[in-house]
Amino acid sequence: MILVTGATGNVGRHVLTLLTAGGHEVRALSRSPQAAAWPVEIDVVAGDLTDPAALAEALAGVESVFLFAVPGSGPSFVAAARRAGVRRVVLLSSGGVDDDAEVQDGPIATYHAEIEQALRDSGLAWTFLRPDVFAANTLMWAGQTKAGDVIRGAYAEAASAPVHEADIAAVAVAALTEDGHAGQVYRLTGPQSLTHADQAAILGQALGRPIRYEELPAEAIRQMMSAHVPAPILDNILATWASATGRTAPTTADIEKLTGRPARSYHDWVLDHAAAF
């Protein structure tokens, strides 16, 4: 049995689909199971990682876990997993985690590093997936593209290698179902370094209309985003964009190495999500 947490998220739903298609016995842990349509072959447990009773029920008879963790959940998850006899955990971590840093840069990297450490100390077989920027982050532009052909944001020349969530899921499934991935850390990126301006242009190409990125001052974007993004995370996002300006984002071959196919491009991702824009 394989347990998928975060089962309705961008990555988790693809993990479920791939595991089910591969004939694996799958269970999903979901806070709101009634809000999704589940294949009949998937066993669904209501609850989350902060609910000890639900976690114990979800882990019963499970050998492998796809872990979409929440801040502070590492120690309690590890204890529950060990009691249940879990052997393998594949963690969706963050590309922001720096193994050489005494203090991680920002809250997202910090809590993922803490969960990674809990798993390192657990005695369980672990694999860490550290994706770069999700291509899905650009869904925040959808309101602007529906209203016109200009995307307004900060740091037009900030570069990243946006990764398709389906590729992350394919790597996760390989690590969940194949041997040889214990103790491995995989850095997952898209195939190409792209600036915000590059991504806007590619979005336009895929949609068949000209779309351009108009840079606004960072403080203007801070005010626009502050209503729905917590201040520490927003500070970290803007600092990351600032530091990514004027450089080429690194890319890796880990997706191709694990799946046997090249990472999907940002253009591919846009075609898969064109209806959202």
- In this structure, the answer to whether residues 143 and 271 fall within a common structural domain is yes
Q: Are residues 8 and 124 in the same domain?
A: yes
Q: Total structural domains in the chain?
A: 2
Tell me whether residue 56 is in a domain.
yes
- In sequence order, what are the beta bridge partners of 166? none
Alpha helices in the chain (DSSP H): 12-21, 52-59, 74-84, 107-120, 142-147, 165-177, 196-207, 218-225, 231-243, 254-259, 266-272
Residue 173 lies in a domain: no
For residue 70, is pLDDT > 90? Answer: no
Instruction: Indicate if the alpha-carbon torsion angle 174, 180, 183, 184 is positive or negative.
Output: negative
Q: How confident is residue 48, by pLDDT bands cut at 50, 70 and 90?
A: confident
In a domain? residue 236: yes
pLDDT value at residue 198: 97
pLDDT tens-digit map of 106-152:
888 898 999 999 999 999 999 999 999 999 999 999 999 999 999 99
Residues 94, 151 within the same domain: no
Please write the tens of the pLDDT for every residue from 172-187: 999 999 999 999 999 9
Amino acid, res. 209: R
Asked if residue 47 belongs to a domain, the reply is: yes
Are 47 and 90 found together in one domain? yes
Q: Residue written as tokens 């204890």?
A: 79
Quote the CA–CA distance of 247 and 109 in Å, as a whole number: 21
- Confidence at residue 141, expressed as pLDDT on a 0 to 100 scale: 95
Same structural domain, 103 and 159: no
Q: Would you give the DSSP letter of residue 9?
A: S
Q: What is the CATH number of the domain that holds 88?
A: 3.40.50.720
SS3 221: helix
Do 108 and 148 belong together in one domain?
no
116 and 29 within one domain: yes
Task: Give the model confidence (pLDDT) of 224-247 as tens digits.
Answer: 888 888 888 888 899 899 999 989
103 pLDDT tier (thresholds 50, 70, 90)? confident
Q: Is residue 26 part of a domain?
A: yes
Q: Same structural domain for residues 91 and 148? A: no
In a domain? residue 175: no
The answer on 138 and 120 residing in a single domain is no
Q: Residue 105: how many CB atoms within 10 A of its CB?
A: 15
- How far is the C-alpha of 138 from the C-alpha of 196, rounded, in Å? 9
Range of the domain at 204: 134-164+189-250+264-277
pLDDT digits (tens, 9 = 90+) for 77-98: 999 999 999 999 999 999 989 8
Instruction: Please state the rounded mean pLDDT for residues 34-62.
Output: 86
Query: What's the whole-number mean pLDDT along residues 253-264?
Result: 97
Look at residues 118, 64, 116 and name the one whose alpha carbon lies nearest to residue 93.
116
> Would you place residue 67 in the very low, low, confident or very high pLDDT band (cuts 50, 70, 90)?
very high
Which tens digits make up the pLDDT trace of 186-199?
A: 999 999 999 999 99
Phi-psi map region of 80: left, alpha, beta (phi>0 left; psi -120 to 50 alpha): alpha
Q: What is the pLDDT of residue 236?
A: 87
What is the structure's pLDDT at 107? 86
Does residue 5 contact residue 29 with C-beta atoms inside 8 Å? Answer: yes
Q: Which DSSP category does 210 fall into?
A: -
Mind listing the pLDDT tens digit for each residue in 1-20? 999 998 888 999 999 999 99
Mean pLDDT of the chain: 92
In this predicted structure, what is the pLDDT of residue 187?
Answer: 97
Same domain, 29 and 66: yes
- Please check whether residue 179 lies inside any domain of the structure: no
- At 89 the pLDDT is 97
Q: Domain for residue 178, yes or no?
A: no
Pairing between β-strand 125-131 and β-strand 150-153 as defined by DSSP bridges: unpaired
Which among 131, 149, 181 is the end of a domain?
Answer: 131
Q: Are residues 142 and 109 part of one domain? A: no
**H or E element at residue 213:** strand 212-215
12 and 64 belong to one structural domain: yes
What pTM does this model have? 0.93
Quick one: pLDDT band at residue 250, thresholds 50, 70, 90? very high
Q: Are 92 and 6 in contact (CB under 8 A)?
A: yes
